[in-house]
Amino acid sequence: MRKNLGVQPALFPMPVVIVAAYGADGNICAMNAAWAQICDTDKIALFIDADHKTTKNIYETKAFTVNIADVPNIVPADFFGIATGNKMPDKFERSGCTAVKSEFVNAPVITDFPVAIECELAEEINTENMHAIVGKIINVSAKEEVVGDKDKILPEKVNPLVFDQYRSGYFSIGEKVGQAWNAGNGLMNK
Residue 109 located in a structural domain = yes
Claim: this prediction has a pTM higher than 0.85: yes
34, 160 Cβ separation under 8 angstroms? no
Residue 188 located in a structural domain = no
For 18-35, what is the mean pLDDT?
94
Residue 185 located in a structural domain = no
Residue 5 located in a structural domain = no
> How far apart (Å, rounded) are the C-alpha atoms in residues 81 and 104?
26
Count the domains in the chain.
1
Instruction: State the DSSP H helix or E strand holding residue 37, giving kind and residue range, or none if neither.
Output: strand 36-40
Instruction: State the DSSP H helix or E strand holding residue 78, giving kind and residue range, or none if neither.
Output: helix 74-82
For 32-56, what is the mean pLDDT?
94
Residue 77 located in a structural domain = yes
> How far apart (Å, rounded) are the C-alpha atoms in residues 2 and 18?
36
Task: Give the CATH number, domain containing residue 143.
Answer: 2.30.110.10
* Side chain identity, residue 151: D
> How far apart (Å, rounded) are the C-alpha atoms in residues 25 and 174?
41
Instruction: Give CA separation, 128 vs 31, 32, 73, 82, 131, in Å.
Output: 24, 24, 35, 26, 8
> How far apart (Å, rounded) are the C-alpha atoms in residues 161 and 171?
6
Peptide bond into 15 cis (omega under 30): no
pLDDT of residue 80: 96
Residue 187 located in a structural domain = no
Beta partners for residue 161, in sequence order: 172
pLDDT of residue 61: 97
Read off the pLDDT band of 42 (50, 70, 90): very high
Which percentage of the chain shows pLDDT scores above 70? 100
Domain, as residue range, for 121 = 14-179
DSSP code per residue over 141-184 = EE-GGGB-GGG-B-HHHH-BEEEETTTTEEEE-------TTTTT
How many C-beta atoms lie closer than 10 Å to residue 16's C-beta? 27
Residue 8 located in a structural domain = no
Give the contacts of 145 (CB within 8 A, at least 6 positions apart): 114, 157
Condensed to tens digits (0 to 9), the pLDDT of residues 102-149 reads 999 999 999 999 999 999 999 999 999 999 999 999 999 999 999 999
Condensed to tens digits (0 to 9), the pLDDT of residues 142-171 reads 999 999 999 999 999 999 999 988 888 999
Residue 184 located in a structural domain = no
